[in-house]
């Protein structure tokens, strides 16, 4: 499909269609090519946990852009992500959108055919919410910016233990008056194996294992060369100054 722009009167530009082979990524790349300013953060995300990635589209021109979706635009990643959704900020709240008529904002009249507006001299904020199923480094098509998602997953000891399960087996008997009684009850025990995580022994980042005393906070990987005990990672998730000075801990920015 060829880009199709219709210039209206005054400050309006109607975006009728864009190249749809690369999905929403190419839509944003197209907006960038016609003068809108796109920003999207790189992010480090834990595997299996929803991760929010913030983006913005600023229209520095004196013309508003009205977007029509005559195609099924999709977000494209390399490699692909199965679980994700896109939200746009509307009056301070995040609203789901896929740039269709069903998800357009309430301020667009029902009789209008456009699905989204980039007003003149205004910034629109977006949030991509993803759940990674791998630690592989991911790029997603966002024009020249080409942001990345770095996945990670902690590695724990694989432990197991036997849990006893007690059951009582009784034998019914019939007396001389043909009445039933429960007698001869005996207890039996069987065992079930349950598996659980022990101590953290490392982390997998971009399909590579980093073993030892480690923690990730935002984009920083901290690695200790000595045991750190039962550390509260919420309060002390990174190298302390004296640990760094004594070279007991070093930090690596996963986005560099």
Q: Which residues lie across from 75 on neighbouring strands?
A: none
pLDDT value at position 12?
58
pLDDT value at position 127?
92
> In this predicted model, which residue has the larger pLDDT, 33 or 21?
33
Strands 148-174 and 43-46: parallel
pLDDT at 1 over 50: no
**Per the structure block, which two tokens stand in for 67?**
């977007």
- Highest mean pLDDT among 21-30, 94-103, 211-220, 232-241 belongs to 211-220
Q: What angle do CA 96, 26, 28 make, to 5 degrees?
A: 55
pLDDT at 24 over 60: no
What does 46-104 look like in DSSP terms, one character per residue?
ETTS-EEEEEEEEE-SSSEEEE---S-----EES--SEEEEEEEETTEEEE--SSGGG-
pLDDT value at position 99?
80
pLDDT per position as a tens digit, 225-240: 999 888 888 888 999 9
The 3-class secondary structure across 89-101, one letter per residue, is EECCEEEECCCCH
Instruction: Delineate the domains of the chain, giving CATH numbers in brackets.
Output: 4-154 (2.60.40), 157-195 (no CATH), 212-253 (no CATH)
pLDDT value at position 229?
84
Q: Find out whether 203 and 152 touch, Cβ atoms under 8 Å.
A: yes
Q: What angle do CA 126, 131, 134 make, to 5 degrees?
A: 130
Q: Find out whether 1 and 17 touch, Cβ atoms under 8 Å.
A: yes
pLDDT at 176 over 80: no
pLDDT per position as a tens digit, 246-256: 999 999 999 98
pLDDT value at position 96?
92
- 24 three-state secondary structure: helix
Which of the four pLDDT bands, split at 50, 70 and 90, describes residue 76? low
pLDDT at 2 over 50: no
- Give the percent of the chain with pLDDT over 90: 39
Whether the ω angle into residue 79 lies within 30 degrees of 0, i.e. cis, is yes
pLDDT per position as a tens digit, 125-149: 999 898 998 898 887 665 555 678 8
pLDDT per position as a tens digit, 37-75: 888 888 999 999 999 999 899 999 988 888 877 655 555
Q: From residue 249, give the alpha-carbon distance in Å to each of 7, 9, 234, 241, 252.
A: 59, 62, 17, 9, 10
Return mean pLDDT, the chain: 82
**Range with lowest mean pLDDT among 58-67, 171-180, 199-208:** 171-180
Q: Is the pTM value of this prediction over 0.85?
A: no
pLDDT at 6 over 80: no
pLDDT value at position 214?
95
Instruction: Report the C-alpha dihedral over residues 13, 17, 18, 24, rounded to 10 degrees.
Output: 100
What does 225-246 look like in DSSP terms, one character per residue?
SS---S--TTTS-S--HHHHHT
């Amino acid at each position: 499909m060829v880009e199709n722009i219709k210039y209206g009167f005054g400050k309006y530009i109607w975006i009728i269609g864009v190249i749809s082979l690369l999905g929403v990524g190419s839509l944003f790349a197209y907006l960038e090519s016609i003068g809108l300013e796109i920003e999207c953060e790189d992010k480090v995300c834990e595997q299996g946990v929803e991760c929010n990635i913030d983006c913005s589209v600023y229209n520095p021109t004196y013309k508003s852009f009205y977007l029509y979706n005559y195609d099924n635009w999709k977000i494209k990643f390399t490699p692909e992500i199965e679980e994700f959704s896109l939200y746009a900020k509307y009056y301070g709240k995040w609203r789901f959108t896929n740039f269709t008529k069903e998800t357009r904002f309430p301020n667009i009249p029902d009789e209008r055919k456009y699905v989204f507006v980039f007003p003149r001299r205004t910034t629109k904020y977006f949030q991509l919410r993803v759940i990674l199923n791998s630690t592989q480094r991911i790029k997603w098509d966002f024009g020249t910016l080409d942001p990345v998602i770095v996945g990670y997953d902690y590695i724990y000891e694989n432990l197991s233990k036997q849990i006893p399960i007690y059951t009582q087996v009784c034998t019914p008997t019939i007396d001389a008056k043909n009445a039933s009684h429960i007698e001869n009850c005996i207890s039996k025990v069987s065992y079930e194996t349950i598996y659980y995580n022990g101590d953290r022994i490392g982390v997998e980042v971009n399909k590579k294992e980093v073993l030892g005393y480690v923690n990730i906070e935002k984009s920083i990987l901290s690695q200790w060369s000595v045991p750190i005990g039962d550390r509260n990672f919420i309060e002390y998730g990174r190298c302390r100054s004296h640990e760094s000075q004594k070279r007991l801990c070093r930090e690596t920015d996963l986005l560099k």
